[in-house]
Amino acid sequence: MTQERPEPTRRALLAGLAGLALPAVPGARALAAGPASVATRPIPASGERIPVIGMGTSRTFNVGDDPGLRDARTEVLRVFFEAGGGMIDSSPMYGSSEAVIGYGLERLGMQETLFSATKVWIRSQAEGVEQMAESRRLWGLPRFDLMQIHNLVSWERHLETLRRDKAEGRARYIGITTSHGRRHRELEEIMAREPLDFVQLSYNVLDREVERRLLPLAAERGIAVIVNRPFRRGALFERIGDAPLPGWAAEVDCENWAQILLKFILSHPAVTCAIPATRQVAHMRENMGAQIGRMPDESLRKRMAAAVEAL
Amino acid sequence: MILYEREVYLSLLARYNEALWPAQLLALLLGLLALGLLWRPRRGGDRLVAALLAVAWIWVGAGFFLRQMASIDYAAPLFGWLFVLQGLLLAWRGLLAGRLGGKPGCKLGGSASPAATRIGLGLAAFALLAMPPLAWLLGQPWPALPVFGLTPGATAVFTLGLLVAARGRARWLLAAVPIAWCLLGGFLAWELALPAAYPLPLAGLLGLAALFLTGRRPA
Ligand SMILES: NC(=O)c1ccc[n+]([C@@H]2O[C@H](COP(=O)([O-])OP(=O)(O)OC[C@H]3O[C@@H](n4cnc5c(N)ncnc54)[C@H](OP(=O)(O)O)[C@@H]3O)[C@@H](O)[C@H]2O)c1
């Protein structure tokens, strides 16, 4: 087993300091203790560390104007930050998701650990500039930590804008995304040629094609990797059903299948973070648990994949 | 791929219907009037029905897709403009064809065969009278229900029914979008687990078969 180096985040340090003066309230202690043990990984381009579990928002945060559903998602967001959550990933493609994130952030107050990531998803370069400005407005942020080109759409043109935005402080990092194994060859060429900080791709215990070329290339080129569809959009849970947890789960501190699936991903050395999506507070807690404790080594990773394949 | 959940769609539909109340009653009355004119044709009745259908499609395109659904579905503007286009087609063929006489317009309410009239009436009555209570019985909470003239599925099936019972080659042109929506709507319903809309593709295929069979008779 390899032990992930727990890295105190900025917020955890603050919480830790605050904890010295806190009364012995269990909740307050948990809050102070929780994020302190969160695993983080460095962004190769800068060395800045981010928590290994982020949050996706396609579908789950696209709840329109419904006030009840917006408040329910704000609760999910609150639990995410309480557990030391960092990256939130969205896109203008996800309907009202960006507006709902903005709604939640406004109610919770800006969070120290937030690592804001969205995308540009439009053909025209000029309209892309407007779309990114609209995203900043919806989130209520002056700049994004990460701006990505969604599914390689008009990537050459947008990359030009993104480089300028990075230089002028509208985005701290830039990247490009794909999913479900689409256009991997083209992505590989872009990764090999262009200076990128991040790449986002699909990877999970059953969809492992990226292990062959893209993940090694990202490691070689010093590109941070965000993993989307860690649960195959929920299909992995349908496959697993109510299968009992394997005995080895305890060896890597997994209390449920979600943590097994996430730790499989996180234990690949090229991966920087995974961004599972959920509408449910209970699921968010399970997912955030994956950033705590031991990680599987190579032989256990093989057993993990075999166990899910056999179901 | 749908990027919103069932509960979100139902919440949006409920608030849309709430905001429009009591337009549903007016739509029901106008739908009944159209059925009545199909049953007992009157002079100028087909033009009135065409105008009614044109307004319904343009409303669903603009009010439902462009105004409401666009906030959660990136494909909604495309559907919205398609519905508006269908409304314009109905206005052009149905309204103007009567006035132009003789041209291959679409004569609504004058069917080629009694069987076609019955199938058409059946489809239109299903859309107007059965789809809302069926949706309620199958678990869609009031007022998140399909309504002819306000939501796409019921509007498509109702229109297809009237076209099946109509005459003229323009029926094919006018039936293309309703049939396409029946198929697509069925797929969306499947993805969202909304069983009340599962009959949509069946209605579309039944309408297509009826159009094909009656189309071979001299109009
Ligand atoms: N091209 C791109 O850029 C691209 C493409 C795809 C995805 N993404 C990003 O990646 C994110 C994640 O991918 P995804 O949303 O497609 O799928 P995913 O994270 O693989 O799966 C989400 C599904 O898993 C379920 N789930 C989550 N946690 C669970 C738990 N602990 N136990 C049981 N079920 C659980 C959720 O249901 P509940 O809500 O019931 O928990 C939801 O249905 C997206 O939201 C998006 O931000 C980007």
pLDDT at B95: 67
In this prediction, residue B99 carries a pLDDT of 40
Which of A66, A153, A179, A182 best probes binding to B when mutated, by most B CB atoms within 10 angstroms?
A66
What three-state secondary structure class fits A200? Answer: strand
Point out the ligand 1 atom lying closest to the alpha carbon of residue A258.
31
Q: pLDDT value at position B158?
A: 97
Structural domain spans, chain B = 6-213
Where helices occur in chain B by DSSP H, the ranges are 6-20, 23-39, 45-59, 76-90, 97-100, 114-125, 131-137, 152-164, 170-192, 199-215
A72 touches chain B (CB under 8 A): no
Q: Which of A53, A55, A58, A97 to mutate to test the pocket of ligand 1 (most atoms within 8 A of CB)?
A: A58
| Phi-psi sector, B44: left (phi>0), alpha (psi -120 to 50), beta | left
Each residue's pLDDT, cut to its tens digit, for chain A (311 residues) gives 444 444 444 444 333 333 333 333 333 333 333 444 789 999 999 999 999 999 999 999 999 999 999 999 999 999 999 999 999 999 999 999 999 999 999 999 989 899 999 999 999 999 999 999 999 999 999 999 999 999 999 999 999 999 999 999 999 999 999 988 889 999 999 999 999 999 999 999 999 999 999 999 999 999 999 999 999 999 999 999 999 999 999 999 999 999 999 999 999 999 999 999 999 999 999 999 999 999 999 999 999 999 999 99
Structure token digits, residue A9: 């985040």
Distance between Cα B77 and ligand 1 center (Å): 25
Q: Using CA atoms, how far apart are residues A152 and A190, in angstroms rounded to an integer?
A: 10
The span from the CA of A46 to the CA of A197, in Å, is: 9
Q: pLDDT 10s digit of each residue in chain B, 219 long?
A: 899 999 999 999 999 999 999 999 999 999 999 998 877 777 777 888 889 999 999 999 999 999 999 999 999 999 999 999 999 999 987 766 654 333 344 555 555 577 888 899 999 999 999 999 999 999 999 999 999 999 999 999 999 999 988 877 788 889 999 999 999 999 999 999 999 999 999 999 999 999 888 765 544
Quote the minimal CA–CA distance from A177 to chain B in Å: 17
Residue nearest to atom 3 of ligand 1 (CA): A177
Tell whether A279 lies on the interface with B, counting CB pairs under 8 A: yes
| Cβ contact, residue pair A95, B72, below 8 Å | yes
pLDDT of amino acid B106 = 52
Query: What pLDDT shows up at residue A3?
Result: 43
ipTM of the complex: 0.88
Residues B43, B98: contact at Cβ < 8 Å?
no
User: Half-sphere exposure of A155 toward its Cβ, with a 13 Å CA cutoff?
Assistant: 21
Per-residue exposure over B87-107, b if at least 16 CB sit within 10 Å of its own CB, e if not:
bebbbbbbbebbeeeeeebbb
Structure tokens at A214: 């893209």
> What's the pTM value of the predicted model, to 2 decimals?
0.89
Q: How far apart, in whole angstroms, are the C-alpha atoms of residue A260 and residue A283?
A: 13
> Of B28, B11, B10, which is closest to residue B127 (Cα–Cα)?
B28
| Spatial distance between the Cα atoms of A65 and A70, rounded to a whole number of angstroms | 7
